[in-house]
């Protein structure tokens, strides 16, 4: 048998399709990876409470969440990188002054500075999750916040990037960006986990499709972009597989030699 490999999967557009459904071939492929003794983990911009059902369905207990800021291995938290408190306060003041919504996320819940806003409803609604933000504009104070969701358009985004240099702003929706610690990325979370497990880089794989996957796919030796990935992601990946709805995960695993065509 080959050496144990570690494979990271993004969620939206990678494991789940546009309707947030898990293709049957993807579930079978991941079950087969585990049967072969490989380590399987999630690497996502989502908060842990947003993908608990998916973890349960796939029997996965390790993940890189909040785009690298909160990492868990088999139920044990092994890395945390919360947002800078003072900078988050300044960001909140600025957002409030121009009436922009902002959400604060910890590993269990999310809180908003506004009771309701159409951009919050549209952005969070696109994730098709049960959880809704709790109205508590002061929740972030004195708390560990691993990621914020700032609701602004692409034209407005550069103003935030210039003003708040302790943060990274990564777009995931027409109306929303993830707010991460400066230098934060899925790559940082993956690095923490593979160092913890002492897994060599040549045994690490990652699948992704979105802008927040660029650092991850640039970092790992064996990177696979989905067929539905944006061009910037395909450009940095070593391989490109089929669309998520065309058995993209299964075909990608076959492409890199982790599964053969008879394995699933």
| Residue of 10, 178, 209, 247 with catalytic role | 10
Distance CA 168, CA 178 (A): 8
Burial of 213 (0-12, 13-18, 19+ CB in 10 A): buried
Give me the DSSP letters along 82-102.
Answer: PPPHHHHHHHHHHHHHTT--E
Distance CA 153, CA 56 (A): 34
Query: Which tokens is 42 given?
Result: 């999630």
**Any catalytic annotation for residue 10?**
yes
Strand duo 70-73 + 76-80: pairing: antiparallel
Core vs surface per residue 124-145: b (16+ CB within 10 A) or e: bebbebeeebeeeeebbeeeeb
> What are the Cα distances from residue 128, in Å, to 46, 50, 52, 95, 124?
12, 9, 13, 25, 7
Quote the crossing angle between the two packed helices 24-35 and 248-255, to the nearest 10°.
Answer: 40
Please give the distance of CA 139 from its chain centroid, rounded to a whole number. Answer: 23
* Residues designated as active site: 10
């Amino acid at each position: 048998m080959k050496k144990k490999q570690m494979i990271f999967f993004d969620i939206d557009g990678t494991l789940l399709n546009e309707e947030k459904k898990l293709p049957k071939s993807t579930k079978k492929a991941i079950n087969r990876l585990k049967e072969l003794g490989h380590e399987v983990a999630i690497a996502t911009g989502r908060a842990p409470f947003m993908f608990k059902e998916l973890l349960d369905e796939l029997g996965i207990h390790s993940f890189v969440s909040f785009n690298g800021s909160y990492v868990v291995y088999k139920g044990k938290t092994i890395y945390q990188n919360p947002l800078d408190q003072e900078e988050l306060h300044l960001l909140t003041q600025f957002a409030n002054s121009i009436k922009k919504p902002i959400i604060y996320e910890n590993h269990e819940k999310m809180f908003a500075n506004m009771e309701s806003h159409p951009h919050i409803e549209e952005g969070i609604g696109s994730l098709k999750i049960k959880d809704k933000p709790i109205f508590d504009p002061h929740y972030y104070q004195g708390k560990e916040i691993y990621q914020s969701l700032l609701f602004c358009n692409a034209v407005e985004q550069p103003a935030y990037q210039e003003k708040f240099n302790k943060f990274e702003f990564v777009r995931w929706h027409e109306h929303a960006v993830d707010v991460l610690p400066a230098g934060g990325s899925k790559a940082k979370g993956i690095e923490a986990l593979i160092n913890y497990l002492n897994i060599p880089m040549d045994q690490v794989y990652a699948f992704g499709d979105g802008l927040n996957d660029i650092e991850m796919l640039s970092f790992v030796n064996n990177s696979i972009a989905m067929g539905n990935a944006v061009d910037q992601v395909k450009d940095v990946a070593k391989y490109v597989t089929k669309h998520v709805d065309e058995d993209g995960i299964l075909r990608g695993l076959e492409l890199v030699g982790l599964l053969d065509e008879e394995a699933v």
